[in-house]
């Protein structure tokens, strides 16, 4: 099944597929990236028809451990309510693939990986795009012997990848679920991304991007950058509770900020240069821009079934932007639903307990599965 | 006219009123702050009835130089379209006062001021609130011999002060114009404020708050904090133009960020600890919370005429929050208008060219002036 140029390896609980120099990744900027390693996890079993594969595209700050603990960080699975036995994406029924994104730092080639000279790429890593991330995933999916994915699903940056999948490879995506995302990064998100990047680069331990060679990490800058990604992720109530705690303290201190949450473990597990590259890839995402400014053109002629999910209190990726995606899909003649969930939990609502979201996603997945079986076995 | 304990001084073009220890400022936290210096500018002349005074409350990152160049920084007046001869707040007609806010760094007592021991307060400066800022302004206004202000006006943090003025001193405020503000800091604004504070404190040149004693400034951290205040201040078009420039550059650099704008001069003129104190004062602002959770109670029994302005693209202080203020004012029986201006220019729209805003503000000011004359001279 595995491509001749690719080799499955595992080290420290991180499973990877390594492509040698004969199978470079063609980047949008014209460069070739080789060798390429893609770290990935799978759950469940591929059926005989190879028709039950689900690709989960992770968001900016997560990784491939969607449904199992991360052996490197010890953190639990990040999406246990959605992916697992008996969950909306039922691993008893589907073969679920989740790959660390290109440019990431959990095993896939990124700025912390070693270049051919044995030193970390750091800022020598080429600029990448959402399309490049999808192309790398496509190489993985092909290497696993899968011609057509039953479902591609993702939120935030993962939703951008899912939209690009449906646009670039319509025949290879039977269904597509995009969650809390947009077809183009908004100005406010670009401003917040740049703020996070500036915070990383302002940290003297960033060392002009070369911190790995100096055995240091820009932990404080990355903590601030992490806050920029989380700024829409908290409910009004939780921010007010932390505010109240903070106001009980008399003075200011760096460590006790009321929005830091679990940032310490974040900065230990996440490469700061990865943040620079991935956030800039998001900033450059503009699917309509790639198709003459009309988003519907990005989906012309496809038969992928879509469902677009948004959460009412998510102002990083507000429902209006998801509605625009759904409208463009309908305009392109696609079968596309739009679900807006009332929630106080901001952008990260999709990670938590949202029964309406789970019910709608389950209904969408089940109906697509029925349609997929019909299309495979000659029904209707 | 000037209070016995107060003395007008001027140094380097900055005019101040210094209260000695016999006139301390009572802070909301119970402490007394003395001595207190308030730096202020005035424009136009106080009329014989002392009925034409306008107090402009400045926002987080501006100062008292509302209608004249700042002699310290060389920057031009920050609100020339609104305050000046023939402008909506016509200095040929009104006596305009603008004071550097308590906790600021343009001459009013703040964390960079010297404490009694001859050293800068730095983090020994007491925590302050919006109410404390207003109480300090009230001391200035009284010292200038003004019993009742014709108009209090402000945007952002200045709007919070204007609302507090109308709530705390209803008989001393004839009219109140609040612009791009809210009766309570939103969770997202709190998160962005905290992000800015963390960025300042993460800068090694912050030196635990004691940078002044070391002859350094946390310029990089304050640059990031400034970005956090500006994140809603740019139009979609301007962010995209800068994004495009940034993507033309191959690599990442701190200085060339596409959202920094004029931040270099900002970090030179603005004290980083001031940012910590002022932003936290904003975070703690909750006018309804001070009145049993019902905002209308904050304005009960007042006769102040209000106009509440909001800009459609301002997501730091979205129109919905201004509408809530206007609704509460009406519920309190106040004469209150609400004006939403369609603009692509975000939170900073009020600083730029917005003809509809200027026309509405002019109408409000003129009608209030007519009413004020009538009430003073026995008409209607």
- Tell if the CB–CB gap between A202 and B198 is shorter than 8 Å: no
Count of residues making up chain B? 380
**DSSP helix/strand/coil, B360:** helix
Q: Say what the pTM is.
A: 0.89
The dihedrals phi and psi of B15, each to the nearest 5 degrees, come to: -95, 135
DSSP B308-349: EEEETT-SSS-HHHHHHHHHHHHHTT-EEEEEEE--SSGGGG
Facing B194 at nearest CB: one of A195, A209, A259: A259
Find residues 173-192 of chain B whose CB sits inside 8 Å of chain A.
186-188, 190-192
**Comparing B7 with A155, which gets the higher pLDDT?**
A155
Mean residue pLDDT across chain B? 91
What is the 3-class SS of A216-244, one letter each residue?
Answer: CCCHHHHHHHHHHHHCCCCCHHHHHHHHH
Beta bridge partner(s), residue A42: A97
Contact status, residue A335 vs residue A302, Cβ threshold 8 Å: no
Q: Could you tell me if A254 lies within 8 Å of chain B, comparing CB atoms?
A: yes
Q: Could you tell me if A314 lies within 8 Å of chain B, comparing CB atoms?
A: no
Q: What is the per-residue burial (b if ≥16 Cβ within 10 Å, else e) of A122-151?
A: bbebbbbbbbbbbbbbbbbbebbebeebbb
Contact status, residue A128 vs residue A281, Cβ threshold 8 Å: yes
Instruction: Report whether the peptide linkage leading into residue B35 is cis, meaning its omega lies within 30 degrees of zero.
Output: yes
Test mutation, A128, A188, A264, chain B, max B CBs within 10 A = A188
The dihedrals phi and psi of A134, each to the nearest 5 degrees, come to: -70, -40
Mean residue pLDDT across chain A? 91
Beta bridge partner(s), residue A173: A149
Provide the token pair at B110: 């703040």
Q: CATH homologous superfamily for B6-187+286-376?
A: Alpha/Beta hydrolase fold, catalytic domain (3.40.50.1820)
User: Tokens 């004359």 identify what position?
Assistant: B373
The pLDDT score that the predictor gives to residue B379 is 47
Q: Determine if residue A90 is left, alpha or beta; phi over 0 gives left, psi from -120 to 50 gives alpha, anything else beta.
A: beta
The pLDDT score that the predictor gives to residue B376 is 67
Report whether pLDDT(A240) > 80: no
Q: Could you tell me if B257 lies within 8 Å of chain A, comparing CB atoms?
A: yes
Give, in order, the Cα–Cα distances in Å from A35 to each of A25, A30, A32: 8, 16, 9
The pLDDT score that the predictor gives to residue A2 is 65
Q: Which helix (H) or strand (E) holds B269?
A: helix B263-269
The ipTM of this complex is: 0.84
Report the alpha-carbon distance of residue A335 to residue A278 in Å, rounded: 31
> Domain map of chain B by residue range?
6-187+286-376, 188-282
Q: Can you give the C-alpha Rg of chain A in angstroms?
A: 20
Lowest-pLDDT range, A228-242, A339-353, B100-114, B149-163?
A228-242
> pLDDT, tens digit, for every residue of B248-272?
555 676 553 444 444 557 788 899 9
- Tell if the CB–CB gap between B230 and A191 is shorter than 8 Å: yes
Test mutation, B27, B30, B190, B289, chain A, max A CBs within 10 A = B190
Q: Which helix (H) or strand (E) holds B263?
A: helix B263-269
Instruction: Report whether the peptide linkage leading into residue B330 is cis, meaning its omega lies within 30 degrees of zero.
Output: no
Report whether pLDDT(A258) > 50: no
Cα B182 versus chain centre, distance: 13
Nearest to A281 by CA among B245, B237, B247, B228: B247
From edge to edge, which strands make up the β-sheet containing B36-43? B6-11, B14-19, B36-43, B95-99, B53-57, B149-155, B173-179, B305-311, B335-341
- Tell if the CB–CB gap between A195 and B231 is shorter than 8 Å: yes
- Tell if the CB–CB gap between B224 and A223 is shorter than 8 Å: no
Q: Could you tell me if B223 lies within 8 Å of chain A, comparing CB atoms?
A: yes
Report the alpha-carbon distance of residue A117 to residue B13 in Å, rounded: 60
Report the alpha-carbon distance of residue B238 to residue A188 in Å, rounded: 11
Report the alpha-carbon distance of residue A374 to residue B10 in Å, rounded: 85
Q: Which band of pLDDT confidence, cut at 50, 70 and 90, is reported for residue A310? A: very high
What's the gap in Å between the CA of B342 and the closest CA on chain A? 18
Question: Which residues from B are below 8 Å from A224, CB to CB?
Answer: 195, 198-199, 202, 224
Report whether pLDDT(A261) > 80: no
Q: Could you tell me if B232 lies within 8 Å of chain A, comparing CB atoms?
A: yes
Question: Which residues from B are below 8 Å from A247, CB to CB?
Answer: 127, 280, 284
Question: Which residues from A are below 8 Å from B188, CB to CB?
Answer: 231-232, 315
The dihedrals phi and psi of B78, each to the nearest 5 degrees, come to: -90, -15
> pLDDT, tens digit, for every residue of B13-41?
999 999 999 999 999 999 999 999 999 99
Contact status, residue B67 vs residue B83, Cβ threshold 8 Å: yes
Q: Can you give the C-alpha Rg of chain B in angstroms?
A: 20
| Pairing relationship of beta strands B32-33 and B25-26 according to DSSP bridges | antiparallel
Question: Which residues from A are below 8 Å from B240, CB to CB?
Answer: 187, 190
- Tell if the CB–CB gap between A224 and B234 is shorter than 8 Å: no
> pLDDT, tens digit, for every residue of B61-114?
999 999 999 999 899 999 999 999 999 999 999 999 999 999 999 999 999 999
Nearest to A221 by CA among A232, A208, A234, A238: A208
What is the 3-class SS of chain A, one letter each residue?
Answer: CCCCCEEEEEECCEEEEEECCCCCEECCCCCEECCEEEEEEEECCCCCCCCCEEEEECCCCCCCCCCCCCCCCCCCCCCCCCEECCCCEECCCCEEEEECCCCCCCCCCCCCCECCCCCECHHHCCCCCHHHHHHHHHHHHHHCCCCCEEEEEEECHHHHHHHHHHHHCHHHEEEEEEECCCCECCHHHHHHHHHHHHHHHHCHHHHHHCHHHHCCCCHHHHHHHHHHHHCCCCCHHHHHHHHHHHHHCCCCCCCCCCCCCCHHHHHHHCCHHHHHHHHHHHHCCECCHHHCCCHHHHHCCCCCEEEEEEECCCCCCCHHHHHHHHHHHHHCCCEEEEEEECCCCHHHHHHCCCHHHHHHHHHHHHHHHHHHHHHHCCCC
List, for chain B, all residue ranges whose pLDDT scores fall below the cut of 70: 1-4, 235, 243-251, 253-264, 374-380
Provide the token pair at A253: 């201190």
The pLDDT score that the predictor gives to residue A245 is 65
Q: Which helix (H) or strand (E) holds B195?
A: helix B187-202
CB atoms within 10 A of CB B237: 11
Going along B144-270, which residue ranges are E strands? 149-155, 173-179
Lowest-pLDDT range, A188-192, A368-372, B36-40?
A188-192
Report the alpha-carbon distance of residue A168 to residue A75 in Å, rounded: 33
Test mutation, A122, A128, A187, A221, chain B, max B CBs within 10 A = A187
User: Tokens 């106040």 identify what position?
Assistant: B334
Provide the token pair at B255: 């200085």
- Tell if the CB–CB gap between A236 and B201 is shorter than 8 Å: no
Contact status, residue B59 vs residue B154, Cβ threshold 8 Å: yes
Q: Could you tell me if A30 lies within 8 Å of chain B, comparing CB atoms?
A: no
DSSP state of B45: -
User: Tokens 């987080």 identify what position?
Assistant: B60
The pLDDT score that the predictor gives to residue A248 is 56
Contact status, residue A231 vs residue A192, Cβ threshold 8 Å: yes
Report the alpha-carbon distance of residue A141 to residue A34 in Å, rounded: 18
Question: Which residues from A are below 8 Å from B250, CB to CB?
Answer: 127
Q: Which helix (H) or strand (E) holds B306?
A: strand B305-311
Q: Which band of pLDDT confidence, cut at 50, 70 and 90, is reported for residue A11? A: confident
Report whether pLDDT(A154) > 90: yes
Contact status, residue A201 vs residue A91, Cβ threshold 8 Å: no
User: Tokens 């998100």 identify what position?
Assistant: A189
Report whether pLDDT(A255) > 80: no
Question: Per CATH, which fold does B188-282 belong to?
Answer: Rna Polymerase Sigma Factor; Chain: A (1.10.1740)
Facing A276 at nearest CB: one of B198, B250, B252: B252
For chain B, the straight-line distance linking the first and the last C-alpha, in angstroms and rounded, comes to 31
- Tell if the CB–CB gap between B198 and A259 is shorter than 8 Å: yes
Question: Which residues from B are below 8 Å from A205, CB to CB?
Answer: none
Contact status, residue B343 vs residue B69, Cβ threshold 8 Å: no
- Tell if the CB–CB gap between A194 and B258 is shorter than 8 Å: yes
The dihedrals phi and psi of B254, each to the nearest 5 degrees, come to: -70, -45
Q: Could you tell me if A8 lies within 8 Å of chain B, comparing CB atoms?
A: no
Region A172-181 average pLDDT? 98
């Amino acid at each position: 099944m595995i491509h001749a140029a690719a080799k499955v390896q595992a080290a420290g609980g991180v499973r990877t597929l390594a492509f040698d120099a004969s199978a470079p990744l063609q980047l949008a900027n014209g460069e070739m990236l080789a060798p390429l390693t893609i770290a990935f996890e799978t759950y469940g079993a591929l059926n005989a028809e190879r028709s039950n594969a689900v690709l989960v595209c992770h968001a900016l700050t997560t990784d491939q451990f969607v449904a199992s603990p991360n052996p490197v960080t010890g953190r639990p699975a990040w999406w246990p309510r959605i992916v697992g036995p008996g969950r909306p994406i039922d691993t008893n029924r589907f073969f679920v693939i989740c790959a660390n994104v290109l440019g990431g730092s959990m095993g896939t080639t990124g700025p912390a990986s070693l270049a051919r000279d044995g030193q970390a790429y750091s800022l020598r890593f080429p600029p990448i795009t959402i399309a490049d991330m999808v192309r790398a995933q496509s190489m993985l999916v092909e290497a696993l012997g899968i011609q057509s994915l039953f479902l591609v699903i993702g939120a935030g940056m993962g939703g951008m990848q899912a939209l690009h999948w449906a646009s670039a490879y319509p025949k290879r995506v039977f269904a597509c679920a995009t969650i809390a995302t947009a077809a183009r990064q908004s100005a406010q998100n670009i401003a917040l991304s740049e703020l996070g990047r500036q915070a990383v680069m302002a940290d003297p331990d960033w060392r002009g991007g070369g911190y790995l060679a100096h055995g240091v990490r820009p932990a404080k800058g990355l903590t601030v950058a992490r806050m920029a990604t989380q700024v829409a992720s908290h409910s009004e109530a939780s921010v007010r509770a932390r505010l109240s705690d903070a106001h009980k303290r008399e003075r200011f201190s760096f460590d006790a900020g009321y929005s830091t949450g679990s940032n310490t473990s974040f900065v230990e597990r996440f490469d700061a240069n990865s943040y620079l590259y991935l956030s800039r890839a998001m900033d450059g995402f503009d699917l309509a821009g790639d198709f003459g400014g009309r988003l519907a053109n990005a989906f012309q002629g496809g038969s992928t079934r879509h469902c677009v999910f948004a959460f009412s209190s998510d102002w990083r990726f507000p429902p209006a932007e998801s509605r625009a995606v759904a409208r463009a899909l309908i305009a392109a003649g696609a079968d596309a639903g739009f679900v807006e969930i009332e929630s106080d939990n901001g952008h990260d609502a999709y990670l938590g307990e949202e029964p309406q979201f789970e019910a709608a996603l389950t209904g969408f997945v089940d109906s697509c599965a029925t349609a997929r079986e019909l299309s495979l076995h000659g029904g209707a």
